[in-house]
Amino acid sequence: MVAIATALAANENIAEETRLAASDLLAANEGLAFNADGPLWYRGSALCYPLSESSVTRRALETQQVQRAVLGHTTTASRKVESRDDGRIILLDTGMLTSYYGGSAATLIIDEHGLQVRYLDQASLESPSVQTRKVGARPDSMSDDELAEFLRTAKVIGSEAIPVGVTLPTRLTLEKDGIQLDAIFKTESTEIRRGRGPNKNRMLNVSDRWQYEIAAYRLDRMLGLDMVPVAVERNVNGKDGALIFWMDGLISLLKKNREKIRADGWCPLQPQHDLMYVWDTLIYNDDRTQQNVTYTQGDWMLKLIDQSRSFRTYRNKPPYVRERELKMTREMADRLAALDTRRLSAELGAYINRDQIRALLRRRDSLINNWAEIQSP
């Protein structure tokens, strides 16, 4: 269409009215309606992290004075109608072209009963599926809970040392029910001897412990951040440690910068980095480097790995964040505000102690206060 319109607009041998119409069509093609960031083609509401995208969604819905948006054009991984962002976004593209996408046709029914879905050749109605958390590609639409069970119970069929870093973790290959996946096994666990007085947590604040990887994963799930890979506790060959799902095809910020690789995913990097800065401040991760700032290739989604040097008892920001302005959405602030000692102790208490939980909540308070100041006129 664009090629034809371009040719018509440049053809002086046709009617001026036709040439002007072709020029108008070309101008419209460059306008908001057809732009990649315009309402017809924008995919951020379907693909970007909800806690960075939620402010865009909220403003769009408030502008139109509606409760939700129903989106097509982006096929869901489950081939089911999915809801995300607390139900404010409904993803309707179920890949109905079966020969190509492997899905089926679906109808969304909106009535006094709420939202219901009818799929082709299915008599009963069902509610839209909540979009599942998936950090890293895995087979058969495996959920996080299913992946965690796989990591705990699958047979170890291969082992390879990773010659990177100080603690030298191991990459294991696991197999169960015909499925093979890889995972990182970390066993480093600095012994913590508590001192007295102001320096009682000195050893804790320089520790490197596998337990923190599991605490980080659980905290990610509590917040709905969806950036930290599944991590479980497991004993392998007589050693206790954290078994962390291996995500294939990651590219580091170090490599991106060295090779001047252009990030061309649908989701801009800066809002993802803003989430990382808030996260690393919350858990006080003092081991973030360009080597462990990693992205999935193709879509350039940031993944947060290496949390074993986190959960310090300091009140301030980790060094690399101190000069940065911390930004977050209202939804992220609300998730942080919902954290409390009881919930954190129940979810993380087996892996971090009370002093670490108290320090995390103090940093949480600082993050929310900073956010509130930014919102004030």
pTM: 0.87
User: Are residues 80 and 220 both part of a single domain?
Assistant: no
For residue 94, is it within any domain?
Answer: yes
Count of CB atoms situated within 10 Å of the CB of 230: 27
User: Are residues 161 and 106 both part of a single domain?
Assistant: no
For residue 246, is it within any domain?
Answer: yes
User: What is the SS3 string spanning the chain?
Assistant: CHHHHHHHHHCCCCCHHHHHHHHHHHHHHCCCCCCCCCCCCCCHHHHCCHHHHHHHHHHHHHHHCCCCEEECCCCCCCCCCEEECCCCEEECCCCCCHHHHCCCCEEEEEECCEEEEEECCCCCCECCEECCCCCCCCHHHCCHHHHHHHHHHCEEEEEEECCCCCCCCEEEEEEECCEEEEEEEECCECCCCCCCHHHCCCCHHHCCECHHHHHHHHHHHHHCCCCCCCEEEEEECCEEEEEEECCCCEEEHHHHHHCCCCCCCCCCHHHHHHHHHHHHHHHCCCCCCCCCEEEECCCCCEEECCCCCCCCCCCCCCHHHCCCCCCCCHHHHHHHHCCCHHHHHHHHCCCCCHHHHHHHHHHHHHHHHHHHHHHCC
User: Are residues 110 and 217 both part of a single domain?
Assistant: no
For residue 92, is it within any domain?
Answer: yes
User: Are residues 216 and 254 both part of a single domain?
Assistant: yes
Positions of the chain with pLDDT under 70: 1-2, 5, 8-9, 31-40, 165-166, 195-199, 376-377
Sequence-distant (6+) residues with CB within 8 A of 250 are 294, 295, 296, 297, 303, 305
Contact 53, 27 (CB under 8 A): no
pLDDT at 23: 78
| Domain end (from 130, 164, 199) | 130
The structure tokens listed for 86 are 């607390």
Q: Is 41 left (phi over 0), alpha (psi -120 to 50) or beta?
A: alpha
Task: Specify the length of the chain in residues.
Answer: 377
Count of CB atoms situated within 10 Å of the CB of 46: 23
CA angle, residues 44, 49, 53, in degrees to nearest 5? 55
User: Are residues 172 and 61 both part of a single domain?
Assistant: no
For residue 176, is it within any domain?
Answer: yes
| Domain end (from 89, 107, 130) | 130
Q: Which amino acid is at 80?
A: K
For residue 31, is it within any domain?
Answer: no
For residue 193, is it within any domain?
Answer: yes
Contact 161, 168 (CB under 8 A): yes
User: Are residues 280 and 353 both part of a single domain?
Assistant: yes
pLDDT at 16: 79
User: Are residues 197 and 280 both part of a single domain?
Assistant: yes
For residue 123, is it within any domain?
Answer: yes
In which order are the strands placed within the sheet that holds 302-304? Answer: 250-252, 293-296, 302-304
| CA separation for the pair 9, 6 (Å, rounded) | 5
Phi and psi torsions of 91, nearest 5°: -100, 115
Count of CB atoms situated within 10 Å of the CB of 274: 19
pLDDT at 203: 86
User: Are residues 110 and 84 both part of a single domain?
Assistant: yes
In Å, the largest CA–CA distance within the chain is 91
pLDDT at 5: 65
| Domain end (from 81, 103, 130) | 130
| CA separation for the pair 155, 222 (Å, rounded) | 29
Contact 360, 311 (CB under 8 A): yes
Tell me which residue has tokens 């991106």.
256
User: Are residues 145 and 121 both part of a single domain?
Assistant: no
Phi and psi torsions of 338, nearest 5°: -75, -10
Count of CB atoms situated within 10 Å of the CB of 1: 8
User: Are residues 155 and 119 both part of a single domain?
Assistant: no
In which order are the strands placed within the sheet that holds 129-130? Answer: 69-71, 89-91, 82-84, 129-130
Domain span at residue 68 reads 44-130
User: Are residues 92 and 209 both part of a single domain?
Assistant: no
**How many domains is the chain partitioned into structurally?**
2
Contact 361, 236 (CB under 8 A): no
User: Are residues 97 and 181 both part of a single domain?
Assistant: no
pLDDT at 8: 66
For residue 96, is it within any domain?
Answer: yes
